[in-house]
Amino acid sequence: MKVYVLNGPNLGRLGTRQVDVYGLTSYAGLVELCEGAGKELGLDVEVRQTDAEHEMLAWLHAAADEQAAVVLNPGAWSHYSYAVRDACALLRAPLVEVHISNIHAREEFRHHSVVSAVATGVICGLGVDGYRLALHHLARRQAEQ
């Protein structure tokens, strides 16, 4: 099963950005975690990060065309990007939305995600382990089919 792990703005700064909120794991460490978990689970995992919304849209469109599953951390786009939300709605395979921090325990503007309504499931507040849990969920769904 092909799984794209897509990360939005500022996630490339993991390990140096607000470590009290996002932890000390670097972006390279996150990539290693996702690729390692994918290998253990028999998933073909490709991890990407962008700060450019148009690039994220192109990746989501490609995932839709390939019928690939997606683990998405849309970052700030979660809260206002209807373009990202609409691209997610095109997906024909499961979409798991992941947030490293608990968006519901943070600033008011972070409490709502426009993406959540079109996601298969949402994981938030479990740190980078949320990515591993999302991949386990996708592998289990695949095995049940």
- Residues noted as catalytic: 22, 99
Residues 33, 34, 36, 42, Cα dihedral to 10°: 160
Is residue 112 part of an annotated ligand binding site? no
**Does 100 show up as a binding residue in the annotation?**
yes
Place of tokens 């938030």: 124
CA angle centred on 126, ends 71 and 47, rounded to 5°: 30
13 among annotated binding-site residues: no
Establish whether 86 is an annotated binding residue: yes
DSSP 115: S
73 is in an annotated binding site: yes
User: Is residue 102 marked as binding?
Assistant: no
Q: Which residues contact 52 (CB under 8 A, 6 or more apart)?
A: none
Give the number of other Cβ atoms within 10 Å of residue 127's Cβ. 15
Residue ranges for the binding site for substrate?
73, 79, 86, 100-101, 110
